[in-house]
Each structure stands twice: as structure tokens, then as C-alpha cells.
Amino acid sequence: MAPQATKKADGDSTARANALDFLRTMLAPRTDPYEGADLITSRRVTAALLGLSSLLGLAFLTFEPPDGALGSGGWVAAVVLLIAGLAAGALVALRSPDFDDLLLIAYAGVADVAVLNWLAGGGASAYAELFVLWLGVGAVHPPRRAFTYLAVLLVVLWLPVLYGDASGHTVTMLASESLLILAIGVVLTAYLFYVRLQRTGLRAGAEVARRLARIDALTGLGNRRALDDALIAQTAGHARDGGPLSVGLVDLDGLKRVNDRYGHLEGDRCLQEAARAMEQSVRGEDQCYRWGGDEFVVVLPGTDRPGADRVLERMAADVGRVCAGDGERGLTLSYGVAELPPDGSAEDLLALADLALMERKTEKRR
């Protein structure tokens, strides 16, 4: 087979496989069937189509009198239904119905059109054309519900054959309208489902990007942005509940020696191992963050200063076993611990920990 023909065959096979995958995804049961759906837009669509259907129904009264089934009483019933539709459209626009409510409204709209069609005598009356508008109301729902709704709509469309005109002309008109409604309904439902899938993917991607923007790429710990957010939240909780809050400001000693002797790749590996040791040495509610370079911050909620000292002592012992070579000592920690004072801020807490760290380094040099 020629290369071009092979390429075309492969492309066709891929397209068929993608189409089948999409179809399976569309019809598969989902934990949240409305994932990715836009409730506000769905309300607006339902309200707009409900109002438009009612206005067109009022316009159809002039050339499609609703007196085929009840005589003059049909006018009263039709006007009441159409005015009720306008009022319902206004309520949907002004209130906050959920998706289940919108689906019930869609079924009620189909029933109203069926009643108008019956009042006009059934068959291929102008009111039957309003079913096309109600496709948009049903298509905003998940495929399984939308296709069930579409099937009900098609059944209702054919009711005139049971109670009214069953001539060949009527059957032909209903068959052609059914094919049109079926085609539009399937395409519209598939398209809106695809839009929801894309929106879900974009939201998931944005959430991943948001998390990655708060993680230090080398160590996997939270970065400076995540630290700032955590301290703001913790200090707000301290102000509300009054529990203790401490932080430890950590400086990793010996990393420059590793970089100078073995290279920066080995230094990065040691930094990663030190970060893992820090995480493993703290409690579940404590959090470690890389502040920058070889400096780290440990946030210790519900911990006073003596308790924070004990946590940092254990951390220093664990990190001291990292990157220890033959005859060489491993990395060491210098740390300063501070407890949030009454009415203190996150900046005050970090400043106190920084001061404690400088004092400890000064003592080491003596």
C-alpha cells in the first residue's frame, strides 16, 4: 500500500476510535452527571426559550385557532398556558432553580406544547414546531437525561396519530419533523457534552497549575507563596481560637561544602533528602516550606515555644544523618523558634524566628 494511502487509513482508524471513545464517555454513568455544566447559563437558556416559546405560541393563535378540541373553551386554556409560560420564564430568570428543577420545567414545557397542539386539533399544527425550541432546554442536561428527554419529546410529537388525524400527509409531516428533531437533538447534546468535558479539563488544568505554583520544584515542599497563605490562615485561626502557634526558621548548614566538593547535582540531591527528612520528623498537622536557597520554615499550629523546640531538635537529628559520607559528617541545621505573641502578625512571627536564628548562629561561632 502506498504511504499516502497507509497514512489516510491510519487517520480514518484513529478518527473512528476517537469517535467511539467519545460516545462511550458520553453514555457512561458519572458520579457527578453535571460536572462541567454551567448552571447560570442553563437557567438563562431555559428562561429565554420558555419565554420565546410562549411568545411564538401567542403569535400562532392568530392563524392556528386553539378550538379544535374544546371549541371556544380552547382559547381560554391556550391563553392561560401561554401566559403561565411567560410567568414561568420570568421566575426562572429571577430565581435560582437547580438542574433538577430545570429538567422538570423542560418536561412541563413539552407537555404544554402537546396540549396546545391537541387544542388546535392535533396533526401537523403550527404549535408542533415549538418542540424544536425545547430541544435546547433538554440538551443542557447530561447525555443520558437529555436522550431520555428527547425520546419522550418524540413520543409526545406522535400523539396526534392516536387521537387525531392519522392520514398519510400527517404521518409524513411528523416523520420528517421527528428526523429533524432527532438530528438536532443528538448533535446539540453531543456538542454541549463536549463543551462540558473541555471546561472540566480546563478547570482541572488550572487547579494543577495553581497547586504547582505553590510547590517548590526541587524539594516538593510548599514554596514562599504557600507559606504566606498558610501563615495568614494560621494567624487568623490563632486570633479566633486563641491556641498557640509557633514557627521554626531553619538554615541548612554544610550544603555549600557539598556543592563545592561534589557539584551542584549532588547538592540538589542532598537538599531533596534533607527536605524529606524534615517532613518525616514533624507531626501530621505541621508543615514544612522552602523559603529560599537553603532556608526552610516549619509552621507548628497548636504548639508553644518549648514544644516547637523539641520538634526542631528532632528534626536536626534526623537531617544530621543525611548525606553523611565515609569519614564525613552529614548536613546540620541551625534553627530559630518563635511563638506568635498576642495580637501579633505573620510578619512579627517570622521576624522573631529570624532573630532567634541569628542568635543561635552567633552562639555557634563563639
| Catalytic residue positions, numbered | 294
CB 265 within 8 A of CB 255: no
Q: Within a 13 Å sphere around the CA of 223, how many CA atoms are in the beta-carbon half?
A: 10
Nearest-CA neighbor of 190 among 131, 150, 154? Answer: 150
Do 62 and 105 form a contact (C-beta atoms < 8 A)?
Answer: no
As to burial, measured by CB atoms within 10 angstroms (0-12 exposed, 13-18 middle, 19+ buried), residue 328 is: exposed
Contact assessment for residue 99 and residue 34, using Cβ atoms and an 8 Å cutoff: yes
- List Cα–Cα distances, 217 to 207, 221, 223, 293, in angstroms: 16, 8, 9, 12
CA distance 42 to 64: 31
The three cell numbers locating residue 191: 456538542
87 near 27, Cβ under 8 Å? no
Sign of the dihedral defined by the CA atoms of residues 213, 219, 220, 225, in that order = negative
**CA separation (Å) from 168 to 38, 171, 177?**
43, 5, 14
Q: What is the dihedral of CA 237, 240, 243, 249, to 10 degrees?
A: 40
| Torsion on CA atoms 316, 321, 325, 329, rounded to nearest 10 | 40
Contact 157, 125 (CB under 8 A): no
C-alpha pair distances (Å), 239 with each of 130, 149, 182, 279, 306: 60, 53, 61, 27, 21
